[in-house]
Amino acid sequence: MSEPRAADETARAPEGAPTPPAGEEAEIPPFGADRALSEGFVDSVAAAIEAADAEQLHALCDELHPADMADLLGLLHEDERVRLIELLGGGLPAETLAELDSDIRESVVLALKPEKLAEAVADLDTDDAAFVLEDLDEEKRAEILAEIPVPDRIALHQALDYEEESAGRLMQREVFAAPAYWTVGQIIDRLRGSDDLPDRFYEVFVVDPTFKPVGSVPLSTLLKTPREVPISQIMSDRELRLIPVTMDQEEVAYLFEQYNLISAPVVDESERLVGMITVDDVVEIVHEETHEDMLAMTGVAAESGLSDSVIETARFRVPWLVVNLFTAMLAGSVVGAFGATIEQIVVLAALMPVIAGMGGNAGTQTLAVTVRALATKTLTFSNAARVVMREAGVGLVNGLVFGVLLSLLAGGWSLFMSGDPDRSVKLALVTGSAMTINLVIAALAGILIPLGLHRLGADPAVASGIFLTTVTDVTGFFVFLGLATIVLL
């Protein structure tokens, strides 16, 4: 209570960030107001690299949290990155390697001295070690594995044998398990005597004689319980979810999120405990998978990152754009088919992108909501019919609102320009009806495209934005120009 009030707000910013490195030369605060590394800090690192000032670089970087150091590497040019690693002595702390973004990981790993890399990899839990090595080519990987002590090497080989994005790849093999008849005291004594424990863990898994997990005890429960109590009395299986090594990481993330898990046991095909997945790895996957949905909707391959080269990036984006070129030409050919109509009533050419564009955006809204609902499993086959009806309803309401609005605007404008009430009413009717119909179809396409992809076992997000705009363009043009041809000519 005697503590003086903290100084003013700005002096404390960024809140939650670590204090700046203590070194005398590090005068620029490493973090900006947005808690990211500041422009000034990154510039001073780049300047020190330019000057080949190793001492200054150590002063700037040594106190950085591994996650921030990994970010710093991502913010530098590729050649600066390589120079920085050289100037720091050819090595990086093990934890920094585990935090690298996947698009710069390979270039960093290749810049490290092999012995320093092997040393760092041996230091990591198996999941992080596998993550560091997974992108390397066979030869390079073998070279590094050869430098790692045998037991670690075997564990790593096994980890790398699991498929990428599987639970087996995500798990660490370091795990603490105990039989149900042990007491709390026995467990604590064992923990104090052991030096082969995971770096951090949150639960003790209880296993039967075949090493199958049958329950778990959170460490907080263990600490609250007297020494003589057997763990069979305090363990629970309600929170226990056995994760098969083959499970996809997206499913793993779903289970963690759904059941608020902190860690979970991974089992082989005989349900024997072989490892553990912890929530800190899952947080990143939740983020990644959700972002993947966002990117996939627009037809971007998710491996694409900010550090890829221009050509590489273009390559990731071109495939769906090629598809889009042909679907757009399909839409264009619909317009072409009504060339005679447009030639006679050229105002149609100005109105048709309004109708198609509104359909595209309204449909994309439905699409985003649907992709999200499928990912969170709030949309399942058990309520799909109801949700489709509801979206169609929303499309109809929006369609009527915007149909009326646009018909008034188009009709009024036509009356003002031509002074022909009969023709203006007809144009208003055609425009309004086309808008209403297109928004209903947009809503249906927005939900049926991802649902259909999901039913086919595909990713419901993939390129769905491109399919959707095709539907809304084609039907928008066709309905509008078709109606116009019938009513106005």
Interface with a copy of itself in residues 387-426 (CB under 8 A)? 387, 390, 393-394, 397-398, 401-402, 405-406, 409
Residue 369 is a binding residue for a copy of itself (CB under 8 A): yes
Near a copy of itself by CB under 8 A: residue from 89, 336, 412, 421: 336
Residue the block writes with tokens 């076992």:
457
Residue placing its CB nearer to a copy of itself in the complex, 86 or 101: 101
Residue 113 vs 233, nearer CB to a copy of itself? 233
Residue 207 binds a copy of itself (CB under 8 A): no
Contact 264, 277 (CB under 8 A): yes
Compare residues 14 and 90 and give the one whose CB is closer to a copy of itself. Answer: 14
The residues in 18-57 that bind a copy of itself, with binding defined as CB under 8 A, are: 18, 32, 34-39, 41-43
Q: Which CB, 147 or 174, lies closer to a copy of itself?
A: 174
Q: Which of 251, 423, 426, 433 binds a copy of itself (CB under 8 A)?
A: 251
**Nearer to a copy of itself by C-beta: 36 or 59?**
36
Candidate residues 234, 342, 388, 429; the one interacting with a copy of itself per rule CB under 8 A? 342
From 102, 220, 236, 418, residue interacting with a copy of itself (rule: CB under 8 A): 220
Question: How large is the angle between the packed helices 347-375 and 421-455, nearest 10 degrees?
Answer: 30
Binders in 103-142 for a copy of itself, by CB under 8 A: none
Which residue type occupies 443?
A
Q: Which is nearer to a copy of itself, 42 or 148 (CB)?
A: 42
Among 102, 233, 236, 361, binds a copy of itself (CB under 8 A): 361
10 vs 260, beta carbon nearer a copy of itself = 260
Smallest distance, a copy of itself to C-beta of residue 137, A: 25
Among 377, 416, 456, 489, binds a copy of itself (CB under 8 A): 377
